[in-house]
Amino acid sequence: MNNNVNKVSSMKRLIKYIFSHNKVAMTAVITSIFVSAVASSASGIFLFLLINNVITPALSSGFSSVVGTFVSIIVSMAVVYGLGVLSSFIYSFVIAKLGQSTLNSLRKDMFAKMEMLPVSYFDSNKHGDIMSYYTNDIDAIRQFISQSMIQIINTVFTLVILTVAMLIISIWLTIVVYVSAVVMVFIIKRIGGKATVNFVKQQDSTAKLEGFIEEIIGGEKVVKVFTHEAASTADFRKLNHVVKDDSVKANEFGNIVMPILSSIGNYMYVLIAVVGGIFCLISGFKNLSLTGFSAMNAAVIVSFLSMSRSFGQSIAQVSQQTSMCAMAFAGADRVFALIDEEPEYDDGAITLVNVRKTSDGTLSECTERTETWGWKGVNSNGETILTELNGNIVLNHVDFGYVADEIVLHDICINAKAGEKMAFVGATGAGKTTITNLINRFYDVADGSIFYDGINIKDIKKADLRRSLTVVLQDTNLFTGTVKENISYGKLDANDEEIYSAAKTANAYDFIEKLPNGFGTMLSSDGANLSQGQRQLLSIARASIADTPLLILDEATSSIDTRTEKLVQKGTDKLMDGRTVFVIAHRLSTVRSSDMILVLDHGRIIEEGNHKELISKQGTYYQLYTGAFELE
């Protein structure tokens, strides 16, 4: 019941969305459909006029007596049908543009909202499922706008026009038509309803299948390394079998509706001829003449046969659209669910601005880029306060859990002064990456607080907070574009000299120059034409060009061989110079030079100190470093 309510709500919202984004176009479409419906319904009326006003009089008085009437009816038919053809062209042309315009707006709204969602949304929703919003669901909406909606509007107009015409000609035969129509609607509701349910199931199962395919394509190397092809194929077959079953059931019920409705339409056709004939016979007996029978004649019967066929065909045609409508509204329900997702909450007010620093240490805001940054806020008196961005980070008794009742970080206290290099060491799942996710506010702490240059990070706008730091992840992400464009992702207004300098800092310059088109080489599929080490070097170059005071290296060199690591280490040493750096590393050799090493175990800091101090303690770090323990 609740699901049905959602579908109805989504239906209303989608129709409102279409109209609100294209009011003029929709007005033109509806007007054109009305004219087209009048033209398609006019054949029965013209037959009635021809038989009554031309053929019947001509039989008794000769054709010459009705030439004028005949010509006027023919001209009227030509004008009406001509307008019908023109209006069909107009609404077909306009609906094509209107449909794509609506889908364009929907995709923009979806993508804009997606970019505003917190990281937790993408952690809890499969990427393949999210992709299906842009493919399956949008395509279902496209079919509704371009086909189903037009057919339904046209059918409504046609049925209204035919009903009015039939009532004017014969109330009794109109009753016969509507009795048949009630039977048709009953069949549509019973059989068509089952088809609709299964078409929606088909849509959901197809989305799951596409999500699985997208996941396997992304992890094809892993599948082959672990010789998991047979198991993956078996999983695919299960999902594909579900799609097949849902599709079979949907089409079984969907395909049987039209033959049944066509048969009912044929019976209705015969019934009208029989009833009309009986009424004609009754009207021939003067003593049995009844109200409504006296007007019954060949013109009425022939015109009704034509109009009843159009009436039945209209109902049959709209029955074919019920499944498409259900799929469209189910798709709209999912699309609007994404659009209605709560955006990432941001209650910060402090922003990051360019500042100029005088010799006496005074800061002043400026518009040009000075490479000196400051935090801009307002105190309780309404006065603007500028605080220099240095990179001091303090975590004060921080607790955190991805799920409220499952705390993964316990009482974390860290004091990283500007320019210090802090290293996190511990087994997988110890909480190292989680700490960095809290610093950039991908997640908010459950208890405690984090301060950045003495400012609680909850008071800083998230976008400004993240602009002040750079993260180099273990899993690199390169985008479709040139090498130069991927490096400048860290600073969109960077010039060529800055890009080359960043590449040299990361020791990526030499291999880039050897690429087919150097810095202009196109990358695609996440840099699949590069080695893992080369991709990581580009990621480090991207971080270098960002030139932020705070740097997070999350297993940044784990994908690089030992020889390349030594080259990168020289570059990262330059990169880390003068910056506050958080390093997460499994290779303990990369953290020896850190000012502070924090050893974590199950979300707790169990040891802290520099390399020399921790070695002298001969505790967990010592055992890890000497190989007595191994990181897992």
Could you give the percent of the chain with pLDDT greater than 70? 89
Distance CA 458, CA 418 (A): 20
SS3 for 361-392 is: CCEEECCCCCCCEEEEEECCCCCEEEEECCCC
pLDDT (tens digit per residue) in 11-20: 888 888 888 7
Is residue 506 predicted with pLDDT exceeding 90? no
Query: Residue 450 belongs to what H/E stretch?
Result: strand 447-452
pLDDT at 472 over 90: no
262 has a pLDDT exceeding 90: no
Q: Which of the two residues, 147 and 5, has the higher pLDDT score?
A: 147
Q: How many whole angstroms separate alpha carbon 467 and alpha carbon 548?
A: 8
Predicted local confidence at residue 294, as pLDDT: 42
Higher pLDDT, 2 or 316: 316
> In this model, does residue 255 exceed pLDDT 80?
no
Give domain limits for the chain. 7-339, 351-388, 393-626
The average pLDDT across 260-284 equals 73
What local confidence, expressed as pLDDT, does residue 292 receive?
Answer: 42
Does residue 180 or residue 4 have the better pLDDT? 180
Which of 184-188, 298-302, 411-415, 552-556 shows the highest mean pLDDT?
Answer: 411-415
Mean of all residue pLDDT scores within the chain: 82
Q: Indicate the pLDDT class of residue 290, thresholds 50, 70 and 90.
A: very low
| 586 or 499, greater pLDDT | 499
Find out whether 398 and 445 touch, Cβ atoms under 8 Å. yes
Q: At what angle do helices 23-50 and 149-169 cross, to 10 degrees?
A: 30
pLDDT of 5 over the 70 cut: no
* pLDDT of 288 higher than 50: no
For residue 579, how far is the Cα from the chain centroid? 39
* Range from 49-63, 140-154, 573-587 that averages highest in pLDDT: 140-154
Domain at 7-339, CATH from 1.10.150.650, 3.30.70.141, 1.20.1560.10, 3.30.450.70: 1.20.1560.10
pLDDT, tens digit, 9 for 90 and up, residues 169-223: 888 888 888 888 788 777 777 776 666 677 777 777 887 887 788 777 767 766 7
| CATH topology for the 393-626 domain | Rossmann fold (3.40.50)
Tens digits of residue pLDDT in 349-394: 999 998 888 888 788 888 887 778 899 998 888 888 999 888 899 9
